[in-house]
Amino acid sequence: MYRHIVNRPENAADEALEGLALTHPGVVSYDRDAGIVRRARPAREKVGLVSGGGSGHEPLHAGFVGTGMLDVAVPGALFASPTALQVHTGTVAADSGRGVVQIVKNYTGDVLNFRIAGELAQDDAIETEVVLVDDDLATGGGDEGGPGRRGTAAVLAVEKICGAAAEAGAGLAEVAALGRRVAGNARTLGLALRACTHPGQDEPAFALPEGEIELGVGIHGERGTGRIPYADADTLVTRLVDPLVADLALKRGAGVIAVVNGLGSTGPLELSIAARALHHRLNGLGITVARSLAGSYVTSLDMHGVSVTLLPADPDLLPLWDAPVRTPALTW
């Protein structure tokens, strides 16, 4: 039997939001009735930033609300899109007169509900722009006209960089264009040593044979693209880094922003070992790690695994990446 620190499973997402707000009272506040998390002190006269999606990916998105990042997060139930009305409420709350950029991970429900919310906002005379995040390389081979790549951990980079630009006074079109560039250039690939187990359930979402791990996993408990033998950290991280480098056509001398992301129950010891492996592999390929992060940012409940996100470090992005940020889950 698998156990979690949880009360009633159906309350897990809501209680976690309440706990986050209680822990960071000066940074975020949780409006349960409206279904949104917003800055404790709303920003004025800047482009607003709203993001959201299913819960179960904590600290995403509520953990990224605060100065230099999001204005509002709109959380759904576990692995379920927020409603269009919720997103509309969040969009209105994020507006301070200069329009709102909606950052949306590429899942059918999210895309639909953010689109409806955008139309509703138009009725309120709030201009909106959508930035679609579709970075998951494991879903890159889809058919023309299919759902396309999933949105995963690159959403962190989109939120950080758009957040910095908005804070610096950039206009709606400029913030949206930046976000689209980051989303278009970032790629992510993940693997799992153990699938997630939904709160209250006994068994993981999928079983793995001894000696194998799952490559190309998403963040909703779905299977990945294939199984590979369990191996040491350096080998596993290479299996993530190399396809990303190939897809992004990164050459010797290139620089990247890299995120080593724990998928839920991956501990600090393992994340630092994975981060070391990432640096060594990229350096070995002649690629400079201009900036990097290692932590649990975009999780899949308690999945044991890690994803790597690479984003080419264009010189104009670095000051935005480095700009101050103060949120529950990212601060510098």
Active site residues: 57, 220
| 102, 299, 307, 309: residue in contact with a second copy (rule CB under 8 A) | 299
Does the footprint of a second copy cover residue 273 (CB under 8 A)?
A: yes
Q: In which residue are the tokens 């990097």 written?
A: 292
DSSP characters over 197-227? --TT-SS-SS---TTEEEES--SSS---SEE
Taking the complex as a whole, the smallest distance from the CB of residue 3 to a second copy amounts, in Å, to: 5
As a whole number of angstroms, the distance between CA 106 and CA 94 comes to: 21
Distance from C-alpha of 300 to C-alpha of 126, rounded to nearest angstrom: 33
Verify binding: residue 207, a second copy, rule CB under 8 A: no
- Given candidates 274, 310, 313, 320, which one binds a second copy under the rule CB under 8 A? 274
DSSP 230: -
Q: Which of residues 216-245 bind a second copy (CB under 8 A)?
A: 230, 232-234, 236
- Which of 126, 205, 289, 308 is the binder for a second copy (CB under 8 A)? 289
**How far is the C-alpha of 56 from the C-alpha of 39, rounded, in Å?**
21
Tell me which stretch binds a second copy (CB under 8 A): 51-59, 89-97, 166-174, 244-252: 51-59
From 203, 242, 246, 272, residue interacting with a second copy (rule: CB under 8 A): 272
Query: Applying CB under 8 A, which of residues 92, 154, 301, 320 lies at the interface with a second copy?
Result: 301
Q: Assess 8 for contact with a second copy (CB under 8 A).
A: yes
CB of 303 to a second copy, least distance (A): 9
Closer residue to a second copy (CB): 88 or 304: 304
Of the candidate spans 133-141, 156-164, 221-229, 292-300, the one that interacts with a second copy by CB under 8 A turns out to be: 292-300
Identity of the amino acid at 4:
H
Q: How big is the site for a second copy, counted in residues (CB under 8 A)?
A: 63
Q: How far is the CB of 264 from a second copy (least distance, A)?
A: 4
Which of 10, 19, 247, 319 lies at the binding interface for a second copy (CB under 8 A)?
19
Q: Which residues pair with 102 in a beta bridge?
A: 50, 130
State which residue, 126 or 189, has the beta carbon closest to a second copy. Answer: 189
- Comparing CA positions, the residue from 86, 137, 93 lying closest to residue 112 is 86
Is residue 22 at the binding interface for a second copy, with CB under 8 A as the rule? yes
- Residue 55: in which H helix or E strand, if any? strand 48-55
313 binds a second copy (CB under 8 A): no
SS (H, E, C) 109-153: HHHHHHHHHHHHHHHCCCCEEEEEECCEHHHCCCCCCCCCCCCCC
- Nearest CA-CA partner of 54 in 114, 142, 127, 122: 114
CA dist 271 and 260 (Å) reads 7
Binding test (CB under 8 A) with a second copy, winner from 35, 48, 54, 59 = 59
28 binds a second copy (CB under 8 A): no
Report the nearest approach of a second copy to the CB of residue 199 (Å).
Answer: 8
Number of H helices, E strands in the chain: 8, 12
- Surface-to-core class of residue 143, CB atoms within 10 Å of its CB (0-12 exposed, 13-18 middle, 19+ buried): exposed
Closer CB to a second copy, 127 or 234, in the complex: 234
**Closest distance of CB 172 from a second copy, Å:** 30
Please state, in angstroms and as integers, the Cα–Cα distance from residue 218 to each residue in 55, 245, 299, 300, 308, following that order.
14, 19, 10, 8, 12
> Quick check: helix, strand or coil at residue 272?
helix
Which parts of this chain interact with a second copy (CB under 8 A)? 1, 3-8, 12-13, 15-20, 22-23, 55-56, 58-59, 63, 193-194, 199, 210-211, 213, 230, 232-234, 236, 260, 264-277, 279, 289, 292-294, 296, 299, 301-302, 304, 306, 326, 329, 331-332
